[in-house]
Amino acid sequence: MAKVAVPGNSNVFLLDIEGTTTPITFVKDVLFPYIKDNVQEYLSAHWEEDECKQDVHLLKKQADDDSKHHRSGPVHSFDQTVHTDEEKAIQEVVDNVLWQMAEDRKTTALKQLQGHMWRAAYTTGKIRGEVYEDVVPAIRKWRRLGMKVYIYSSGSVEAQKLLFGYSTEGNVLELFDGHFDTNIGAKVESKSYQRIAESIGCSADNIMFLTDLTREAKAAEEAGVKVAVVVRPGNAELTEEEKSHYKLITSFSELALPDSA
């Protein structure tokens, strides 16, 4: 694929993770199955700890909100302060987590619990974050040219830092200037990208966003952010219209930067 020129006024890269820096299969075949296979054991082991109680509290708030808005889900509610049957209470949380994951939801409550579970897995060596081999060399080059690099993912900031802190390339957290998750807003909403620009302290026009999902690319464009769509093995197929509209890359090395930024 031909080189894609990065606009001369771009001095910030904003990177998606799944399907962009990291194989989509890592999330679907490693991270998510780990949660499904271990959530019950994890909750049982940490049920009385403050962090776990906070996670369950957020999940309960989300479940209450879902109920008010008539979103279908497990019929029971859960609350650590009400149930005397701990095993039943834990099962209700497990059911809610598995339901949210089956629906491919990106709620902050779900992501927080997942992040804490992945932290335990990363720090004990059960999981290593997969990063495409073109990613780290490219980011090092961008930083030498004065570019800033941020991550924006639906996964929690903590989960992002774990992936890059315990990656197949070692600890590469030093390569990033900051991290954003759904606390700043959904990735399919243009206002999220405006907020990110404000947080960084730059114009939206100064940002180049790399993602594999065109609905995210569209939202970023609407905010004035420059976009390139990343085409990796296993990523969603693009329509002919999408292929003609967006700049496409199959590797970070295909981005041609100005001599300085």
134 is in an annotated binding site: no
CB atoms within 10 A of CB 197: 20
Say which residue the tokens 């990343």 belong to: 230
Query: Residues near 215 by Cβ (< 8 Å), separated by ≥ 6?
Result: 188
153 is in an annotated binding site: yes
18 is in an annotated binding site: yes
Q: How far apart are CA 188 and CA 154, in angstroms?
A: 10
How, if at all, do strands 12-15 and 178-180 pair?
A: unpaired
244 is in an annotated binding site: no
Q: Where are the beta strands (DSSP E) in the chain?
A: 4-5, 12-15, 148-152, 178-180, 207-211, 226-230, 247-249, 255-256
- Pair 248, 232: CB distance under 8 Å: no
Q: How far apart are CA 118 and CA 157, in angstroms?
A: 12
Extract the tokens encoding 67.
């109920």
Q: How far apart are CA 77 and CA 82, in angstroms?
A: 10
- Pair 144, 171: CB distance under 8 Å: no
Residue 60 — left, alpha, or beta (φ > 0 → left; ψ -120 to 50 → alpha)? alpha
Annotated binding site for Mg(2+): 16, 18, 212
Annotated binding site: 16, 18, 153-154, 187, 212
Annotated binding site for substrate: 153-154, 187
